[in-house]
Amino acid sequence: MKTKKFPLHWKIMIGMLLGILFGIVMTQLSWGGQFTKFYIKPLGTIFINSLKLIAIPLILASLIKGISDLKNISKLSKMGGRTVITYLLTTLTAVLIGMTLVNIIKPGSSVTEKTRNDLMVAYQDNANEKMLIAEEQKGQGPLQFIVDIVPSNIFDAATDNKNMLQVIFFAIFIGVALIYIPKEKAKPVKDFFDSFNHVILKMIDFIMLAAPFGVFGLLAAIVVEAPNIDLFKALGMYSFTLVIGLAIMIGIYIMLVRIFTKRKASFFLKGISPAQLLAFSTSSSAATLPVTMDRVENKLGVDKEVSSFVLPIGATINMDGTSLYQAVAAIFIAQTFGMDLSLSTQLGIVLTATLASIGAAAVPSAGIVLLVGVLAQAGIPEAGLALIFAVDRPLDMCRTVVNVTGDATVSMIVAKSVKKLKKVKE
């Protein structure tokens, strides 16, 4: 009799819950913090590093193979245009939702002067570090983001996951070139990347066996390293506002999948849930990308030709959760300082947050660096960044779930529009 396998997403969920419980127990022991830091947290660090290890090789192999398999360049431009436009529309929607909620709920009014001063003192060093990074970016020209897309050295670009957009550019360049050369000349290169892609996918299988242990280590460390619980209570309304916005975005994704692909909400959520849980644990779209691709192709029915193009681009430019967070955080900080932002200033936040999310590094807390630019554009004190550091980590986990879910949604919509969405059992 064949026994039914225990689903991966349940294993990951159990790992998360045990990690939280373990972390709570360790906070009650004098030696618990040190023990968790030195013996438990490394489990999560190793797991994240192993996923990051294969992120760039996966993008290179899958994107080159996917693009080179297209019959002509017009097919690529058609798919690319629909992908980028859909991503921009979902990002703009996310920012508007965030701005609307933060103006209705007004979470800034719940932060007392004493709590604000405590947070400013506790997190000023972190805020200064992010502001220095943002200051370097501020001195660059308006077209710098386009310049940054084209690498001067692909090997240098491939050594840092923050340069993923450069790797994507290089992979697309190779894929397009393979379309234009004779088939017999292109075949050996395509065969190599096809085989290489299979090797990477098998590596993903091996890594995912350790996922429950990895997320256990990550969650235990987060609980142990969390600041005073009173600070979390003071920022509860801000967190509530952001989580409500992110939940609304998930609902919009489900609605879009239903409208454009006719697939049920249960089918979509069951198919993408392991990637969502991993995104929650790692706070990294890049680290989750291998699992997202696997679930979208094998469970949601998206053809590899589409997923290998849409998802790597989405992991870099589609940051709906991050852009929603920037709108909420910027106006929340303004509210705590007693600032009354005009409509034109808030529309400026919408535009800045939408554009800033494009090209954001798909790594933990990248959004908080971009937030400095949003604050500066609106004339909001950048020192207010320290206000949200206490709760940024758990909220970063939540917004990464939205980023990954958005990528999967757009891949299904694009696949349906180009007739590459396969029928799978619901």
pLDDT of residue 391: 66
**83 close to 410: Cβ distance less than 8 angstroms:** yes
Angle at 341 between CA 340 and CA 347, to 5 degrees: 165
The answer as to whether 26 is a domain residue is: no
What are the tokens at 398?
Answer: 């939540």
The answer as to whether 114 is a domain residue is: yes
What are the tokens at 280?
Answer: 């929650």
The answer as to whether 332 is a domain residue is: yes
Which residues, at least 6 apart from 287, have a Cβ–Cβ distance to it below 8 Å?
A: 48, 51, 52, 55, 278, 363
CA distance 380 to 335: 10
Mapped onto helix, strand or coil, the DSSP state of residue 158 is coil
Domain that holds residue 332: 71-182+228-417
CA distance 408 to 254: 11
**293 close to 311: Cβ distance less than 8 angstroms:** yes
The answer as to whether 148 is a domain residue is: yes
pLDDT of residue 314: 81
Return the sign of the alpha-carbon dihedral for residues 22, 121, 335, 94. Answer: negative
The answer as to whether 129 is a domain residue is: yes
What are the tokens at 87?
Answer: 């991503």
pLDDT of residue 204: 75
The one-letter amino acid at 236: G
The answer as to whether 29 is a domain residue is: no
Could you tell me the pTM of the whole model?
Answer: 0.66
CA distance 97 to 340: 19
**Among candidates 407, 421, 239, which has minimal Cα distance to 332?**
239
Mapped onto helix, strand or coil, the DSSP state of residue 29 is coil
| CATH of residue 110 | 1.10.3860.10
> Residue 122 region, left (φ>0) first, then alpha (ψ -120 to 50), else beta?
alpha
pLDDT of residue 252: 96
CA distance 164 to 327: 25
pLDDT of residue 359: 46
The answer as to whether 208 is a domain residue is: no
Q: How many CB atoms lie within 10 A of CB 86?
A: 22
CA distance 88 to 254: 18
pLDDT of residue 49: 80
Q: How many CB atoms lie within 10 A of CB 176?
A: 15
10-residue stretch averages of pLDDT, the chain, 426 residues long: 62 83 91 91 84 77 74 69 86 90 84 63 56 58 71 84 74 86 89 86 80 84 65 72 94 95 91 90 80 90 86 79 86 76 76 62 52 68 63 80 93 90 75
CA distance 271 to 299: 5
Q: How many domains does the chain have?
A: 1
What Cα–Cα distance (Å) separates residue 269 from each residue in 117, 274, 275, 417?
41, 9, 10, 21
> Residue 340 region, left (φ>0) first, then alpha (ψ -120 to 50), else beta?
beta
pLDDT of residue 356: 59
The answer as to whether 192 is a domain residue is: no
CA distance 359 to 279: 18
CA distance 214 to 416: 35
pLDDT of residue 190: 87
